[in-house]
Amino acid sequence: MDYTVVIEQANDGSYSVYVPDLPGCVSSGDSPEQAKAMSAEAIHGHISALRETGQPVPPPRSTAAVIHAA
């Protein structure tokens, strides 16, 4: 399963990541690349926790697009 992640730069220069299709699944890193890598671990752990507790795993539904604002 491929989940969309959103990477945002924080005021301190670090990067936060959240997964729209997995509420509560967040991660962070010192660079966009590190944040993205850490999000893979967070997604794996989040899905494992859902399965261990008998909760449904939401399917990936989100997509992303970059829109140029003139």
Domain count within the chain: 1
Which DSSP state fits 8? E
Would residue 33 count as lying in a domain?
Answer: yes
Would residue 39 count as lying in a domain?
Answer: yes
pLDDT value, residue 53: 97
Q: Which residues pair with 16 in a beta bridge?
A: 8, 28
Would residue 14 count as lying in a domain?
Answer: yes
Domain around 11: 6-52
Q: Which residues pair with 8 in a beta bridge?
A: 16
Long-range contacts of the stretch 37-40 (C-beta < 8 A, 24+): 39/5, 39/7
Would residue 62 count as lying in a domain?
Answer: no
Q: Is the full-model pTM beyond 0.95?
A: no
Would residue 66 count as lying in a domain?
Answer: no
- CATH code, domain with 17: 3.30.160.250
Amino acid at 15: Y
- List, for residues 14-55, the tens digit of each pLDDT value: 999 999 999 999 999 999 999 999 999 999 999 999 999 999
Would residue 34 count as lying in a domain?
Answer: yes
User: What band does 70 get if pLDDT is binned at 50, 70 and 90?
Assistant: confident
Three-state SS string over 40-70 comes to HHHHHHHHHHHHHCCCCCCCCCCCCCCCCCC
